[in-house]
Structures are given as structure tokens and as C-alpha cells.
Amino acid sequence: MSYFPLMVEVKSREILVIGGGKIAFHKIKILLSFGAIIRVVSEEFCAELKALADINDKNLTMVKKSFDEKDIDNCEDICFVIAATDNEKLQSIVSELCRIKKIPVNVVDKKEKSSFYFPAVIKRDELVVAVSTGGNSPVAAGFIKREIDKKLPRCYGKLVSNLGKYRDVALLKIDSYDKRKQFFLELIMYGAEHNGDVPDDIVEEKLLQYQTDIGCGSR
């Protein structure tokens, strides 16, 4: 069964991670790039995670102790939980607690204990591409991600950010969905050919073109 992809804002949201090894480190590193507030509970922490905490002391808190139910109860606005530990008994406990409390949980490498799956992610500014195999093969997800990454022009992240600046003005000045779609398609094609850059004068020219079309059509 395939799973529906859902983009969730995690900026300034709390995420609880159980486990302090390299798998936890890789997931935490990605989440920090989205502005999440992460609390890690583990009896031990790998060197990479300690180094990451040194440069992210405001968004990453590491608590050196064994997990107990209060770690979940004390999270007032928890977004989701990640269990990244090789302790199968602990994985089962965390999974069951989260399901009872209706908190989304990802148990690493345990599809049956997870309510969501962590995709392989490509992030370039505001552009995010996620690849999931529904928990069937994380290795395949990583491989496919790398294949997409090779073919995805580096400038697309900047292009998407530039287009975002003109969304409101397009909604205000172009009166139909089809015309706004065509307006942005032309900007995308221009930006793709110019390293992601879309100068203001090009935008103004396109806006004038579509505004003129609107005026002519209303006569």
C-alpha cells in the first residue's frame, strides 16, 4: 500500500527523538534544516550528534537518561516522535504510547510500528523533493533520491524562492487561474534558462502583458 505524501510545517515545533546514534543524527540534521525544535533522549550520544549540538544549542537539546513515559507526557506541543534505537522492546513501548496518545511516530526500520515514514529528502531553499517507498526499502528511497538529485538543476531552489515574491501581486493583478498559471510558467521557463534569476523588469513586462489581455477581453 502506498502512503499519501503530506508536507508539514515543523518550524518552531517540538520533535522528540529517542536514541542518540548515527541514524538519529542523520534524521535530526535534516529536521534542523527545517527549523524544528528537537529534544533527544538517550543514554549515549554519538560524536557526530554531540558536534551538531555544539552548533545548534538553541534548537537541539540532548537529555542523557533512559526513556520513560513522562518524556512524551511533558511535551505540550509535540509534532511527532522518532524512535531511532536498536532496543526492540523500547521501540515497541514508544510506538504503543504514541498510538494511545494519537501522536505520529516513526520507528526506524520497523514499518509495522510506525504511523508515518521518513522520506529521503532533497532540499534547496524552499524547494523540497521527497522520495518514499512506504517503508519497504529505505535504501531504494535513498538511491532514487540521488538519481533525482543528479538531474535536478541546482538553480531550481533559487528559482522557486524568486517566484514566491510575485505570488501576491499575480493574485491581485491577474484575474483568472489559467492566466496566472501561464504567467508563472513563462517566468519558470525564463528562470530555468537564466540560472534561476527572474529580474523585476521581466516580471513587470509579463504582468503588463496579462493585464493588457484582461483589458482587451473586457471590452
The conformation of residue 80, written as its DSSP 8-state character, comes to E
* CB-count burial class (<10 Å; 0-12, 13-18, 19+) for 173: middle
Domain-by-domain residue ranges, the chain?
Answer: 14-118, 119-152, 156-217
Q: What is the tens place of the pLDDT at every residue in 138-181?
A: 899 999 999 999 999 999 999 999 999 999 999 999 988 999 99
- Beta strands 105-107 and 60-64 are unpaired
The topology (CATH level 3) of 14-118 is Rossmann fold (3.40.50)
The conformation of residue 65, written as its DSSP 8-state character, comes to S
**Per-residue confidence (pLDDT) for residue 215, from 0 to 100:** 46
Instruction: Give 3-state DSSP helix, strand, coil % of the chain, rounded to 5.
Output: 50, 15, 35
Within 13 Å of residue 68, how many CA atoms lie on the same side as its CB? 4
- Beta strands 127-131 and 120-124 are antiparallel
The percentage of the chain sitting over the pLDDT mark of 70, rounded to a whole number, equals 95
